[in-house]
Amino acid sequence: MSQDLDQVFAALADPTRRAILSMLLEDDMAVTDVAEPFEMSLAAISKHLAILSRAGLISQEKRGRVKWCKLEPDALREASVWMQGFGQFEAVNLDAFERFLEAELNG
C-alpha cells in the first residue's frame, strides 16, 4: 500500500505531470497531443507519462498506430483516504481537484 501511495505523491510532485493530469480531465488524448503545449521532447513527455502510468494515475493504450492516454481518477482515492487519517482533510472531490489543477495551470 505505501509503495503505491509513494508513487502517487511522487507523480503529483511535478508541475508538468500535474498539468498533464489537468489536460486529461477533459478527455482522452493522444501522446502527441499531450506533448504539444510543452517545450520539451516527446521522449521527455513519454517519461512523465510512464511515471503517471506506474502510479496508476493514467492508463495508456494503442489505438491503431496512435498511443492514447486516459485519466484514472480512482488512483487518487488511496491518497485521499491517507490524508483523511489526519482528520484535517476532506475526501478528494474530483470537481474540486479539477478546479485546483486548473488554478495551478492558469495561476
CA distances from 13 to 6, 8, 36, 62 (A): 10, 9, 21, 27
Q: For residue 37, which amino acid is it?
A: P
Domains along the chain with CATH numbers: 2-106 (1.10.10.10)
Q: For residue 26, which amino acid is it?
A: E
pLDDT in tens, 24-80: 998 999 999 999 999 999 999 999 999 999 999 999 999 999 999 999 988 888 888
Average pLDDT over residues 10-21: 95
Range in 13-17, 59-63, 89-93 with the lowest mean pLDDT: 89-93
What's the pLDDT at 55?
A: 94
What's the pLDDT at 97?
A: 76
Average pLDDT over residues 87-93: 62
| 39 vs 97, residue with greater confidence | 39
What's the pLDDT at 73?
A: 81
Q: Report DSSP letters for the chain, one per residue.
A: -HHHHHHHHHHHTSHHHHHHHHHHHH--EEHHHHHTTSSS-HHHHHHHHHHHHHTTSEEEEEETTEEEEEE-GGGHHHHHHHHHTTTS-PPPPHHHHHHHHHHHHH-
- Report the distance separating Cα 14 and Cα 7, nearest Å: 12
